[in-house]
């Protein structure tokens, strides 16, 4: 009962000093909400990237070489025969403009691929058909386009069967990719896919520098990696300097560790503002103790024990922090959700909210205990004599 009345009293005291209390709470609100926002955006972005990377499949390997000898199309079949490897697909980037009539599609990457590529990258078509080995063999002037390209050139009408111009030549659109979003530096939605033979013709070079490999399953990834590296060493004289075989898992791991560091850093920065908020609480509580020395003396003369006074001031600090903390959490979630509208990915977990709340309580305890202790130690007669 005493406890309940102490809380009521704490609210009373906080209310009598409205401005002071709100300013103190503002410090906490800023601290707590920035923890939630920064960590939320950090984890949101991280989760976003992770889900995109893992949607590619954890049994995918990316190979890039920069050797004097180049990979040829024939090598694809040989690599596909390697132990642990299921499929291998080449990938070459071509510099070319894509247009239709007078409209030019901006920021489009034109890419040469073969019939295995879509399967490896888990791309699906919304209409039409994919590039087949016949297209590759025949150097057909056909293409599969992403949604953004389709939108800018065909205005939401079905692009399949229509003609567009790539590097001055006419190409028939045979398929439309489903919207994928961007991942690993390539945005499938703004891509135009051509048979690799046709792409080579446009670019004038037959070098294949990048390829995607699909391992039989997740457990054979490392095996496939070793076999591929070995193959590249023997056929291209490649060394670890000019060859890189990356597994999705290693990529994920690297990214995750970078992101974790980043989140930790953000949380650290936000925590500093929380500590500053805590110091504000301590300051206000110290002032409050000084102002209320007489009250403490009167209470002691009426039989308040040290612990009674300690608890009274501690609860006041706690109420301040809990109040500020709750508002901070609400502000954090509110602003974070608003940030979503501006293209950030904000994710809050109950864990972070609980942690922030716990932190608010901790701040209240840590920064409230000293003033409260000081109040409790006042000699009743000295306290009473104060005006």
299 binds other proteins (CB under 8 A): yes
306 binds other proteins (CB under 8 A): yes
Q: In the chain, how long is the greatest CA-to-CA distance?
A: 103
**Residue 83: closest CA among 238, 218, 226:** 226
Q: Total residues at the site for other proteins (CB under 8 A)?
A: 23
Q: Cβ 373 to other proteins, closest distance in Å?
A: 14
DSSP-derived pairing of the beta strands 109-113 and 98-100? unpaired
287 binds other proteins (CB under 8 A): no
Q: Encode burial over 314-332: b for 16+ CB neighbours within 10 A, e otherwise.
A: bbbbbbbbbbbbbbbbebb
Q: Cβ 365 to other proteins, closest distance in Å?
A: 23
Choices 90-98, 275-283, 302-310, 322-330 (CB under 8 A): range interacting with other proteins: 302-310
Residues 344-383 within binding reach of other proteins (CB under 8 A): 380-381
Q: Using an 8 Å Cβ cutoff, are 207 and 178 in contact?
A: no
Nearer to other proteins, 51 or 379 (CB): 379
Nearer to other proteins, 168 or 303 (CB): 303
Please select the residue that binds other proteins; options are 26, 184, 339, 384, rule is CB under 8 A: 384
d(CA 261, CA 267) in angstroms, rounded, equals: 10
Residues 195-254 within binding reach of other proteins (CB under 8 A): none
Task: Work out the angle between the directed axes of helices 248-291 and 350-377 (0-180°, nearest 10).
Answer: 30
DSSP-derived pairing of the beta strands 142-145 and 191-195? antiparallel
**Residue 337: closest CA among 28, 37, 26:** 37
SS3 assignment, position 170 = strand
DSSP-derived pairing of the beta strands 169-177 and 142-145? parallel
Nearer to other proteins, 189 or 295 (CB): 295
Residue 280 CB coordination number (10 Å): 21
Please select the residue that binds other proteins; options are 86, 246, 308, 366, rule is CB under 8 A: 308
Please select the residue that binds other proteins; options are 13, 59, 150, 228, rule is CB under 8 A: 13
Nearer to other proteins, 4 or 107 (CB): 4
Nearer to other proteins, 275 or 384 (CB): 384
Q: Cβ 379 to other proteins, closest distance in Å?
A: 8
d(CA 84, CA 220) in angstroms, rounded, equals: 5
2 binds other proteins (CB under 8 A): yes
Nearer to other proteins, 265 or 381 (CB): 381
d(CA 305, CA 5) in angstroms, rounded, equals: 16
Which residues, other chains included, contact 102 with Cβ-Cβ below 8 Å and sequence gap of 6+? none
Q: Using an 8 Å Cβ cutoff, are 372 and 313 in contact?
A: yes
SS3 assignment, position 268 = helix
Choices 5-13, 113-121, 194-202, 333-341 (CB under 8 A): range interacting with other proteins: 5-13
Q: Using an 8 Å Cβ cutoff, are 59 and 217 in contact?
A: yes
Q: Using an 8 Å Cβ cutoff, are 240 and 228 in contact?
A: no
Choices 1-9, 89-97, 316-324, 334-342 (CB under 8 A): range interacting with other proteins: 1-9
Please select the residue that binds other proteins; options are 257, 287, 294, 354, rule is CB under 8 A: 294
19 binds other proteins (CB under 8 A): no
301 binds other proteins (CB under 8 A): yes
Choices 43-51, 110-118, 152-160, 304-312 (CB under 8 A): range interacting with other proteins: 304-312
Nearer to other proteins, 224 or 304 (CB): 304
Residues in contact with other proteins by the rule CB under 8 A: 1-2, 4-5, 9, 12-13, 16, 294-295, 298-306, 308, 380-381, 384
């Amino acid at each position: 009962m005493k406890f309940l009345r102490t809380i009521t009293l704490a609210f009373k005291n906080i209310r009598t000093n409205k401005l002071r209390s709100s300013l103190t709470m503002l410090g906490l609100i800023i601290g707590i909400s920035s923890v939630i926002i920064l960590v939320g955006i950090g984890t949101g972005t991280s989760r976003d990237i992770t889900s995109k990377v893992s949607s590619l499949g954890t049994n995918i390997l990316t190979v890039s070489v920069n050797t004097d000898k180049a990979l040829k199309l024939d090598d694809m079949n040989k690599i596909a025969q390697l132990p642990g490897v299921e499929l291998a697909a080449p990938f070459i980037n071509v510099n070319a403009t894509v247009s239709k009539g007078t409209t030019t599609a901006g920021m489009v990457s034109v890419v040469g691929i073969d019939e295995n590529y879509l399967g490896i990258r888990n791309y699906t078509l919304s209409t039409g058909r994919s590039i087949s080995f016949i297209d590759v063999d025949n150097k057909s002037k056909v293409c599969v386009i992403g949604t953004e390209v389709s939108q800018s050139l065909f205005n939401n009408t079905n692009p399949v069967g229509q003609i567009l111009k790539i590097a001055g030549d006419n190409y028939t659109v045979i398929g439309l990719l489903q919207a994928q979003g961007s991942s690993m530096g390539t945005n499938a939605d703004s891509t135009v896919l051509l048979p690799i033979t046709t792409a080579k013709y446009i670019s004038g070079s037959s070098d294949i520098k990048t390829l995607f490999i699909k391992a039989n399953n997740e457990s054979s990834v490392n095996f496939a990696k070793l076999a591929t590296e070995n193959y590249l060493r023997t056929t291209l004289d490649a060394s670890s300097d000019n060859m890189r075989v990356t597994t999705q898992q290693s990529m994920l791991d690297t990214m995750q560790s970078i992101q974790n560091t980043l989140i930790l850093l953000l949380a650290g920065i936000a925590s500093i503002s929380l500590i500053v908020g805590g110091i504000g609480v301590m300051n206000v509580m110290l002032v409050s103790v000084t102002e209320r020395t007489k009250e403490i003396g009167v209470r002691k003369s009426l039989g308040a024990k040290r612990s009674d006074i300690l608890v009274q001031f501690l609860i006041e600090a706690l109420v301040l922090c809990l109040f500020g903390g709750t508002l901070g959490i609400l502000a954090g979630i509110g602003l974070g959700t608003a940030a979503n509208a501006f293209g950030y990915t904000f994710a809050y977990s109950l864990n972070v909210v609980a942690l922030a709340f716990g932190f608010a309580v901790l701040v209240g305890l840590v920064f409230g205990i000293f003033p409260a202790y000081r109040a409790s130690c006042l000699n009743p007669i000295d306290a009473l004599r104060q005006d």
